[in-house]
Amino acid sequence: MPALSLDHWNIFCKDLKKTVAFYETYVGLRDGDRPPFPFPGAWMYAGDKAILHIVSETGRKDHGSGAIDHIAINCADIRGTLDRIKKDKVPFEVRKVPARPLQQVFIHDPDGVMIELNFWHEADVEELEGFDPMTNRAGAMKEKKVPA
């Protein structure tokens, strides 16, 4: 039974409209078709695939895990992404992965879920100036840059 791919992840939120808007604006997902479940929620799409299921806490059941650190999504246009994040004063952190053509932007959704936006094979951005991937510790964000 080999795994074929990741299907989706599911999160709970306090404010469904705010959370949907966040994923549309900063991650580039699209709110799309969702089965008629008897609780409020949304399915967010990347292309024709619903990769994120959002459930309002009003529909929350007592289950799930608390061990997930972050979710990573492959994206394009790191410069445009950073410009939008800075314009809207969203706290962020930028990293570069050693020995890989990969830059990452970390942000948190309105409910605190950490999102890793991956940008492969894009030109380095000036926000990485002074970043040393061998000495800067990876893991959960400790300090968040808040654009001035």
pLDDT of residue 142 exceeding 60, the answer is no
For the domain with range 9-59, which CATH number is right: 3.40.50.2300, 3.10.180.10, 3.40.30.10, 2.40.440.10? 3.10.180.10
* Beta carbons within 8 Å of 137's beta carbon, 6+ residues apart: none
| 8 A C-beta contact, residue 80 and residue 135 | no
What's the pLDDT at 68? 81
Find out whether 44 and 29 touch, Cβ atoms under 8 Å: yes
Confidence (pTM):
0.83
In degrees and rounded to multiples of 5, residue 111 shows phi and psi of: -105, 10
The domain 71-123 belongs to what CATH superfamily?
2,3-Dihydroxybiphenyl 1,2-Dioxygenase, domain 1 (3.10.180.10)
Question: Does residue 125 contact residue 105 with C-beta atoms inside 8 Å?
Answer: no
Domain residue limits, the chain: 9-59, 71-123
Q: What pLDDT digit, counting tens, does each position of 64-123 carry?
A: 667 788 999 999 999 999 999 999 999 999 999 988 999 999 999 999 999 999 999 999
Assign 47 a pLDDT band (cuts: 50, 70, 90).
very high
Which position has the higher pLDDT, 17 or 58? 17
